[in-house]
């Protein structure tokens, strides 16, 4: 069974540009969460999607957005990139995301560098 | 904010048991204790989780104190590949709550 797949693995952008990152969850998983990891702030929750609807959102500006498709695949978008957006962006999937005893499985992440 | 406290770093000799402590003194009755680890530049990897009872799987054992205010993750025979940052996380069973990561413990397994 394939794991969580994130593409691309590495990305280099310049300030002011926008970027779209993709995540394919484990087959059958319907909940997809996104996290940002930086050396200074650690792992921080961005948002979570289930059945194409955003169910939960972390404390990030509106430049960070996402969506989920009917096949549970998800994308996140960052507009007007800033240097501080350089980070490892991680996607995690689970069956439904509603139970505390449900494991989350993470992808390898997309390393975004903003120059 | 994370509801757990972990030592920032620990060393362990290869082949010995690694015992990683976690304090979660404000844990509620419906909150699970989760352990994840992250090897450099990879995504976090699920290790084990529990509610009240001790748990064991092929990777590790989780020992939760009777009052549930602390727990210990045990890697029975640490190898160099177990070198990673280990995160202890408390997660509510009610609603779709995200995992809240703290700073974790950096475990170095030494040959």
> Does B100 sit within 8 Å of A45, measured CB to CB?
yes
Residue pLDDT, tens place only, B11-56: 999 999 999 999 999 999 889 999 999 998 899 999 999 999 899 9
Q: For the residues A90-113, what does the mean pLDDT come to?
A: 89
Closest CA to A93 of B61, B4, B99: B99
**Percent of chain A at pLDDT exceeding 90:** 88
Biggest CA-to-CA distance, chain A: 40
* DSSP-assigned letter for residue B56: E
Q: For the residues A100-112, what does the mean pLDDT come to?
A: 91
Q: Contacts of residue A92 in chain B, CB cutoff 8 Å?
A: 43-44, 99
Residue B105 scores a pLDDT above 80: yes
pLDDT at site A68: 98
Q: For the residues A51-62, what does the mean pLDDT come to?
A: 94
């Amino acid at each position: 069974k394939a794991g969580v797949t994130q593409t691309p693995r590495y990305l280099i952008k310049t300030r002011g540009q926008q970027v779209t990152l993709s995540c394919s969850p484990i087959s059958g998983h319907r909940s997809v969460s996104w996290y940002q990891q930086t050396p200074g702030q650690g792992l921080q929750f961005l948002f979570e999607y289930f059945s194409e609807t955003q169910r939960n959102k972390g404390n990030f500006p509106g430049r960070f957005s996402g969506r989920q498709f009917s096949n549970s695949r998800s994308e996140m978008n960052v507009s007007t990139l800033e240097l501080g957006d350089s980070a490892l962006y991680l996607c995690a999937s689970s069956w439904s995301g509603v139970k505390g005893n449900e494991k989350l499985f993470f992808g390898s992440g997309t390393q975004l560098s903003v120059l | 904010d994370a509801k757990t406290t972990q030592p920032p770093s620990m060393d362990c000799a290869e082949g010995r048991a690694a015992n990683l402590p976690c304090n979660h003194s404000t844990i509620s009755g419906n909150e699970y204790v989760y352990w994840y680890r992250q090897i450099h530049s990879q995504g976090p990897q699920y290790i084990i989780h529990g509610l009240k009872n001790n748990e064991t799987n092929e990777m590790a054992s989780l020992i939760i104190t009777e009052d549930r205010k602390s727990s210990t993750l045990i890697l029975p025979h640490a190898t160099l590949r177990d070198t990673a940052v280990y995160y202890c996380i408390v997660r509510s069973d009610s609603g779709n709550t995200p995992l809240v990561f703290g700073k974790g413990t950096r475990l170095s397994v030494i040959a």
